[in-house]
Amino acid sequence: MSYTRFINFGSSTNNKIMYPEEPSNPLTYCLWNNSNSNYIHGATAYNYKPYCVECSTFMKEIGNGMHGYGPWGTINVNGNLQSYCEFYVQNNIENTQPNLSAINTEAFTIINAIMKEKNSVGENLIRNTLELRFLNYLSSYKSNKKVSFNPNVATSPYIHIYNGICGNCPVIVNIPQNIDNDIIMNRALLCPKVSADVFAYMWAAMVGVYDNVILNYPCNSLTESESYNQDRKSLINTKLGKYLMEKNEYYSNLFCTIQRAFKVTCSNCGCKAERCKFTN
């Protein structure tokens, strides 16, 4: 006899969990900050706002195709793709709330602080989704915990909460071969300033200025060293690579700003005292 795992028991009893009008669907809390949520949930809605850690984490996860949604939180409605993430971006334009679901919180804070225009709640979703999809911080696994979106609702999905990591942690930048057709990357490139710190790490991986930032872009080279060098050359020919090279000086300055704040050394900076490195 087989039994449903406890973690899946609640969702297995409700096959309407993805319906936007279903009260147990986190979207009913997260898409907007108005009376609609209060009407559906009553007093419990006070604890869940679009910018809270639960909502901002759930939204970036559906942006990455998790919880049964397509990339950028898409669903098929009568043959047409609709994006809940895009709805969230367009309807959460306030820029006075903190970004509570960034993984590399220090890097985001440093760059957002020097920007003339601060990220809105919706723009943070673009940045956080890009980070989750392409940047693999090795130390983040240790700070990653799986929790229920709403522990008071049995059918509530589980999300992955990250404790903010130190910005100088080793990171692998994973770029798929079909990056030119990646819906998340293409959305981020429409307004790259809101993801400036994430793009700075991608730039660093592509040009190879810092040992703690490694590029993983598949190619057909025969040896590991040839592959790594070819990865960089191949990436330059993509939309992402062309954009980063066009803004080479801009991202060089941003990346060095981040590294100086962490008091670390890279080939373009004169700072010292690295805080962490790759270990075997």
pLDDT per position as a tens digit, 171-207: 999 999 999 999 999 999 999 999 999 999 999 999 9
pLDDT-derived band at 269, boundaries 50, 70, 90 = very low
In a domain, 271, yes or no: no
**What type of residue sits at position 131?**
E
pLDDT given for residue 152 in this prediction:
85
Average pLDDT value for residue range 156-179 = 85
pLDDT at 232: 80
In a domain, 219, yes or no: yes
Q: What pLDDT digit, counting tens, does each position of 216-234 carry? A: 987 544 445 555 567 788 8
Share of the chain above pLDDT 70, in %: 75
Q: 32 vs 38, 47, 214, CA distance in Å?
A: 11, 13, 37
- 54 class by beta-carbon count within 10 Å (0-12 exposed, 13-18 middle, 19+ buried): buried
Q: Residue written as tokens 């979106």?
A: 149
Note whether residue 276 is domain-resident: no
Whether 268 is covered by a domain: the verdict is: no
Q: Is the pLDDT of residue 70 over 80?
A: yes
Inside any domain, residue 96 = yes
Q: Is the pLDDT of residue 72 over 90?
A: yes
What range does the domain containing 144 cover? 6-261
273 found inside a domain:
no
Whether 24 is in a domain gets the answer yes
Report yes or no on 20 lying in a domain: yes
Partner residues linked to 148 by β-bridges: 158
User: Which distant-in-sequence residues (6+ apart) come within 8 Å of 178 by Cβ?
Assistant: none
Q: What pTM value is reported for the model?
A: 0.87
Phi and psi (nearest 5°) for 63? -65, -25
**Pairwise CA distance, residues 161 & 142, whole Å:** 11
Which DSSP state fits 155?
A: T
Residue 129 has pLDDT above 50, yes or no: yes
CA distance 275 to 204: 18
Q: Which residues contact 89 (CB under 8 A, 6 or more apart)?
A: 122, 123, 125, 126
Structure tokens at 240: 């992402």
Number of domains in the chain: 1
